[in-house]
Structure 1
Amino acid sequence: MSTPAEYYRSLPPVSKIYGVTCLMTSAAYYLNLYNEENIALFYGLVFKRLQVWRLITNFFFLGPFSFPFAFRLIMIARYGVSLERGTFDKRTADYAWMLIFGALSLLVMAVVPYLWSPFMGISLVFMIVYVWSREFPNALINIYGLVSLKGFYLPWAFLALDLIFGNPLKPDILGMVAGHLYYFLTVLHPLAGGKFKLSTPFLVHKIVAYWGEGTQINAPVQSNPSAGIIFRGRSHRLGGTQTTTTSNVLTMKRGRKRKKRKQPL
């Protein structure tokens, strides 16, 4: 049986960083190190006072320590990790882009006053669960040892649990909408013959490669040489650039010799 430290080190990078950040944010709130209003999403303060950090920090607060908070953290550890190790295996940048796209989609939805919420981390977690349910629709899930169902129905089961426990349903529904939008643009629309496909931006690939965590197949950029992990595409060969350069130099020298031989006396 692995120790907590071994389990922590075995976690994939994106899910680990997001889960730990959410845990530290709630721990700091529990210790009264900050006021929750200072990290909440208020567009008036974002545009009038340029408090742009609110566009990011609101996604890392899953609420104070409580059963709902622990449940959301378990969702990240269970379904976020499973998604990153499964569908997004060796696609660290793509998984990071999925979360970024989900966050951007939720920020756009929050412009509508009725859809606004001061903290949209729960919606982002629910987006992860929704995408997992579409990627693993036939996986068998057991909820509290009482109900067994397929993975495709998992978001709806969690929605029903929040209804029973009296938790707000709007964050869950917004997360499902963001998850379906991402899945439609990346999977369903291209399979239907659509020309547009939502691909991971080059900048995200570059940041992940420079960061040096995880692995990435067919990344358009090479990793930082000082990083401990190499991001290699399928056609990447160590020393390939050096070999090509040497062969070009030899070819140029041979061409010069042939020209000298052809010159008239």
Structure 2
Amino acid sequence: MSTPAQYYQSLPPVSKFYGVACLMTTSALYFDLYDPWNIAISYQDVFKRFQVWRLISNFFFLGPFSPFFAIRLIMIARYGVLLERGPFDKRSADYVWMLIFGALSLLVMAAIPFLWTPFMAGSLVFMIVYVWSREFPNAQISIYGVVTLKGFYLPWALLALDLIFGAPLMEDIIGMVAGHLYYFLTVLHPLAGGKYVLKTPLWVHKIVAHWGEGIQVNSPVQHDPNAGVAFRGRSYRLNGNRAQTSTTPSEQEQGQEQTNNSARQPNSGDGVAFRGKGYRLSGH
């Protein structure tokens, strides 16, 4: 049984940072250190009074201490951590870019009057849950030990619970829209033969490299001058499958040698569709 300190140290960096930032924001409100409406999203204050911090600060406020706040924080600790340890393992910059893209999408939607909400941290958390549900559609989820369902239906189940408890649904809905937009552009559209248009920008890689936390496979930024080439090895798709993108000369030589060996030797492995004796052209 790990201690709270050990559990905290074991958390992946991005989810740990975001969860702690939301917890500290609510704790500061508990001690009356600020007025929450000073960090709410207001485009009038942003453009007329140049209060640009509102574009960022509203994503760290999950509300005052309450069961609703606890549930949202648990979602970060549960599904955000599972995403970062699963499909985004060793892809810290890609995970940061997913959150940034989600925040930008939510800001655009908040410009529409009937979609506006003062704080969109809950929407960003719901986006994380939605992406997780698409990455682990067959995972078995228990809702309060009463209902068991597949992970694919988790966002809809949480939406129904918020409806029953009387919580506002708009932030949940726009969070699901942002999550589906990200999943469509990074997984569904490329799988359908479309171009991958949501590549993680170089400046995000640089921020992660400067941060010094997390690991980024195939990062174009060199973390350490003595560490060799920063872009090498294999890339990882969002669904966790590997696709080889670059090989070193030694790997190419090994691949050529294996090809030559396979041409000279019969395949003795199982599961081969056509097997039997081979005959040389000369008939010997």
Letter in 2 for 1:92: S
CA contact (8 A) 2:140 2:150 kept: yes
CA contact (8 A) 2:159 2:172 kept: yes
Aligned to 1:205: 205
Moved runs in structure 1, 4+ residues, more than 3 A?
A: 229-233
- The structural deviation recorded for 1:52 is 0.3
CA shift digits 1:145-195 (9 cap, x unpaired):
000000000000000100110000100000000000000000000000012
- Residues 1:2 and 1:230: Cα distance change in structure 2 (over 3 Å): farther
Aligned to 1:182: 182
C-alpha separation in 2, matches of 1:85 and 1:208: 16
Query: What is the number of residues matched between the two proteins?
Result: 234
Whether 1:126 and 2:126 are equivalent positions in the alignment is: yes
C-alpha separation in 2, matches of 1:211 and 1:168: 36
C-alpha separation in 2, matches of 1:225 and 1:192: 39
- Residues 1:89 and 1:171: Cα distance change in structure 2 (over 3 Å): same
Aligned to 1:110: 110
- The structural deviation recorded for 1:231 is 9.3
- 1:20-31 paired onto structure 2 within 5 Å: 20-31=20-31
- The structural deviation recorded for 1:235 is 5.0
Aligned to 1:218: 218
C-alpha separation in 2, matches of 1:126 and 1:164: 17
Percent of aligned positions with the same letter in both sequences?
75
- Residues 1:85 and 1:196: Cα distance change in structure 2 (over 3 Å): closer
CA contact (8 A) 1:223 1:231 kept: no
Secondary structure of the corresponding residue to residue 64 of structure 1 = coil
Aligned to 2:61: 61
CA contact (8 A) 2:93 2:205 kept: yes
Secondary structure of the corresponding residue to residue 141 of structure 1 = strand
Whether 1:41 and 2:41 are equivalent positions in the alignment is: yes
Letter in 2 for 1:191: L
- The structural deviation recorded for 1:210 is 1.4
- The structural deviation recorded for 1:234 is 2.9
Aligned to 1:96: 96
RMSD (Å) for aligned C-alpha atoms: 1.7
Letter in 1 for 2:156: W
CA contact (8 A) 1:123 1:172 kept: yes
- The structural deviation recorded for 1:223 is 1.4
CA contact (8 A) 1:91 1:216 kept: yes
Letter in 1 for 2:150: K
Aligned to 2:147: 147
- The structural deviation recorded for 1:225 is 6.2
C-alpha separation in 1, matches of 2:229 and 2:25: 31
Secondary structure of the corresponding residue to residue 40 of structure 1 = coil
Aligned to 1:136: 136
Aligned to 1:234: 232
Whether 1:191 and 2:180 are equivalent positions in the alignment is: no
- Residues 1:57 and 1:212: Cα distance change in structure 2 (over 3 Å): same
C-alpha separation in 2, matches of 1:225 and 1:231: 9
Aligned to 1:87: 87
Gaps of 5+ in 2: 235-284
Aligned to 1:74: 74
- The structural deviation recorded for 1:197 is 2.5
TM-score by length of 1: 0.85
C-alpha separation in 2, matches of 1:137 and 1:124: 20
Q: Where is the helix percentage greater, Structure 1 or Structure 2?
A: 1
C-alpha separation in 2, matches of 1:164 and 1:156: 12
- Residues 1:198 and 1:164: Cα distance change in structure 2 (over 3 Å): same
Letter in 1 for 2:40: A
